[in-house]
């Protein structure tokens, strides 16, 4: 089964809108692909939903719980330092490496411009869905 890390921008888009990102979440929930995540990605997602979009706590907690249930949770140590322009993006890379993911799905330009790190491909949701 294909293992993917969904960046927080993908998770947030999937929360709000129908489209490629929601399709990815649906496929993870159905078991067609396996999501890998970390506490740091979930925390960032929760913070953005709360502070930027003012989503009520009960909806945030239900969403985070559904992400935990559909994902393999890895524990990162914030020891990877590859992306200098936006160091918080390193947590996504470390999640993928420790979780043995094949892909990172992101809309973040700092990650996308890398294209590949180690054996992990970094692509947009549309590219992943067109090939899987």
- Which tens digit of pLDDT belongs to each residue from 43-82? 999 999 999 999 999 999 999 999 999 999 999 997 877 8
Percent of the chain predicted with pLDDT > 70: 100
pLDDT of the residue at 83? 79
Q: What is the pTM of this model?
A: 0.95
CA distance 14 to 117: 25
What residue spans define the domains of the chain? 3-127
β-pairing, 34-38 vs 3-6, is parallel
**pLDDT value of residue 80:** 75
Report the top-level CATH class of 3-127: alpha beta
**Taking 80 as the threshold, does the pLDDT of residue 3 lie above it?**
yes
pLDDT at residue 19 is higher than 80: yes
Is residue 99 within 8 A of residue 74, CB to CB? The reply is: yes
Query: Do the beta carbons of residue 116 and residue 122 sit within 8 Å?
Result: yes
pLDDT of the residue at 66: 97
Give the H or E element holding residue 132.
Answer: none
Q: In the predicted model, what is the mean pLDDT of residues 93-119?
A: 96
Average pLDDT, the chain: 95
């Amino acid at each position: 089964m294909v293992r993917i890390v969904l960046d927080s921008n993908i998770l947030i888009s999937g929360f709000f809108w129908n489209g490629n990102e929601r399709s990815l979440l649906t496929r993870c929930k159905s078991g067609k692909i396996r999501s890998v995540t970390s506490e740091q990605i979930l925390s960032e997602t929760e913070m953005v939903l709360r502070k930027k979009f003012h989503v009520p706590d009960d909806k945030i907690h239900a969403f985070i719980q559904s992400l935990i249930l559909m994902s393999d949770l890895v524990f990162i140590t914030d020891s990877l330092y590859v992306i200098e322009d936006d160091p918080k993006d390193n947590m996504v890379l470390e999640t993928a490496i420790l979780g043995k993911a094949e892909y990172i799905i992101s809309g973040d330009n700092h990650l996308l411009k890398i294209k590949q790190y180690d054996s992990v491909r970094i692509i947009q949701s549309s590219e992943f869905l067109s090939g899987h």
